[in-house]
Amino acid sequence: MTLLASSSRAASRFARVASAASSKKNFPSIAAAGTTANGRFFLSTDTTSSSSETLTREDVVDSDGLLQFKTLHEMNHFASIAFKDNPLFGTYMAPEVEENVVKDKEEAQGTFEWMSYGEYGEMVGRCRTVLKDLGISEHSKIGLISNNRWEWSALAAAAYSLNAAIVPMYESQLSKDWTYILNDSECSALFCSTEEIFLKAVKEVLPNTPSVHSTLCFNSPRDEPHSLATAIDRAEGIDTPVIIPTPDDLSGLIYTSGTTGKPKGVELTHDNFVSNVYAVRTMADDPIDFIRSSDRSLAFLPWAHSYGQTCELWCAISHGGSMGICRGVPQILEDLAMVQPTVLFAVPTLYKKVYDGVQNLIGTSSPTKQKLMRAALEMGRKKKEGNLGLVDGLKHKVLDTLVTSKIRGRFGGNLRHGFVAGAACPKEIIDFMDDIGIPICEGYGLTETSPIIAISAPYKGSRKLGNVGKPVGGVHVVIMNPDTQQPVAQGEEGEICCYGRNVMRGYYRNAEATAEVISVAPDGESRLFHTGDIGKLDEDGFLSVTGRLKEQYKLENGKYVVPTPIEESIAMSRFIGQVVVCGANRPHNVALIVPDWVAIRAALGIADDVDEETLVNDKKVRGLIDEEIKINCHKLKKYE
């Protein structure tokens, strides 16, 4: 059964925080930057922390020029030395409005202004002084309610340099969520990104959070007592001593939203994050690697989430890469054009939007244009497979110029590969991205695993479509029978479990919840984390994820169903925006669908003045949706 539903920015300005950081640089484009190949490596260099006055680049990198570190404090500190003149954070600056002055298109659009690693190191030192003045000391915790900003990273690094921990939260969360998290984590200080959030916190949160004794705001006017910028200004020239954390010290608490009950604070240590960054490096195949010092990303995945924090923020900093900070989803295409990223960390939705846009364009174009676009994608597929002969090679060159290069241009034009995680990415989308010349690295993990468990790499033999890659270095995956709690045979489905240095310490002040997901690993010593996901390992060691244990339900006929693969199949249609499948104790599955009305109107020639409530019952619309479901779900079992 199918049910149709008719309906389904903040641009942050760069805070000029101090004279030392006020003269920002407009760094050269990625195309003009040098390239350093960062291959696989393991921690070997002695990186005992010292003051920046005595350390040089040679002290903090290995013979291949790769940064060596044991904690997030060392990583941030050493990076500011090793990559001192590299750009790090780019923040959008709106154009200045001048009367009677006509600006060219680029000037009118605004620009990204870049902070270097050296300037970042200076800001981290000042933020350490600010935190110390607020009474933050060893094992304290600070709360951050903010989208991605350079201040977020600088405060996190400053906290690490006092052996304190961070508790990141989202701007979009409710006041009651902030209140619960601040109380549960026992935060001592709170930092808010905007004046609006600050005032909301003062009114609705702080009266109910007795542990929070100080609150500062990133965007407050400098004459306000709660201005972070003013506090940083006052810290200029003050050398606050570092309290060096150990790898086993807590770096932060990330609260999982959870599907039931209160959010749980995931305790992640420095070693959890560091081991995961190093694990990604072991997947790199010289001379190409995941993150180069010349790489640039557009940061729109929240760093408050472990995926954005580990895979983008920490991986980029540890390799000397740079990040343009996205203003928000509405501006993402504009920001992609300005930042021109070479790597992109995203969820499948972003890539699907481009895929759907191209499919819609093909579907509404003339027969000649349709043939041209399909031929371009076919030539891209042949190139990927290494099947281009002389004639096809010439065809590919022409068609790439006419068609696929313009599709790549939607990502800024310089993207060499993308990362996708957070949800399963359909094979059709990964194939499409390959065909246009942007290989996708699919990964899998959870907050509790810091987060990376497995990842596919864009190298021969390291990718197998339909899988999420192989376990990263140091992470051991075991597929367990959820009933017997014993490992299953190779190729059989079961619960995905893993052990390694990436596994969390536990849930903060919640031993009962920790015991539910942590057991003893098959080696008899390690802590085995139970993901709650269903999957299997094939003969080549590739991991596939097929569903969630708790999502599984039984139909009236006794058949068990995991809805996720069904939802993913249905959602591949360019005419379907969102879908939810249910069917517990029913004779068959039911799909609730939110159509993509723009695509449907274009395909069926429906006028804009026909309302969506009318379209829900339109025979042509329902026939189109039914046909799409049949096409995309033909590989599913009959009862599904």
The string of pLDDT tens digits covering residues 231-276 is 999 999 999 999 999 999 999 999 997 555 789 999 999 999 999 9
Residue spans per domain, the chain: 343-413+415-442, 446-548, 551-632
Return the pLDDT at 9.
26
In sequence order, the 6+-apart residues with CB closer than 8 A to the CB of 507 are 264, 265, 266, 267, 513, 514
Q: In the block, which residue shows the tokens 């995931």?
A: 266
Residue closest to 158 by CA, chosen among 251, 233, 55: 251
In sequence order, the 6+-apart residues with CB closer than 8 A to the CB of 251 are 71, 72, 160, 165, 166, 245, 268, 269, 270, 272, 273
Evaluate if residue 290 carries a pLDDT over 80.
no
Sign of the four-CA dihedral 189, 193, 194, 200: negative
The alpha carbons of the chain give a radius of gyration, in whole angstroms, of: 25
Peptide bond into 451 cis (omega under 30): yes
C-alpha span between 390 and 290 (Å, rounded): 31
- Burial (CB < 10 A; 0-12, 13-18, 19+), residue 346, is buried
Length of the chain: 640
Burial 204-214 (b: 16+ CB within 10 A, else e): ebbeebeebeb
- Give the pairing of strands 189-192 and 214-217: parallel
Query: Do the domains 551-632 and 446-548 match in fold?
Result: no
> What is the token pair recorded at 189?
């200080």
The CATH superfamily of 446-548 is Luciferase; Domain 3 (2.30.38.10)
pTM of the full structure: 0.83
Q: Which helix (H) or strand (E) holds 626?
A: helix 619-632
**pLDDT of 341-358, one tens digit each?**
999 999 888 898 889 889
How sure is the predictor about 10, in pLDDT bands with cuts at 50, 70 and 90?
A: very low
Domain 551-632 has CATH 3.30.300: yes
Return the pLDDT at 101.
58
C-alpha span between 531 and 550 (Å, rounded): 11
Residue percentage of the chain with pLDDT more than 70:
88
Residue closest to 311 by CA, chosen among 414, 450, 415: 450
What is residue 207's DSSP assignment? G
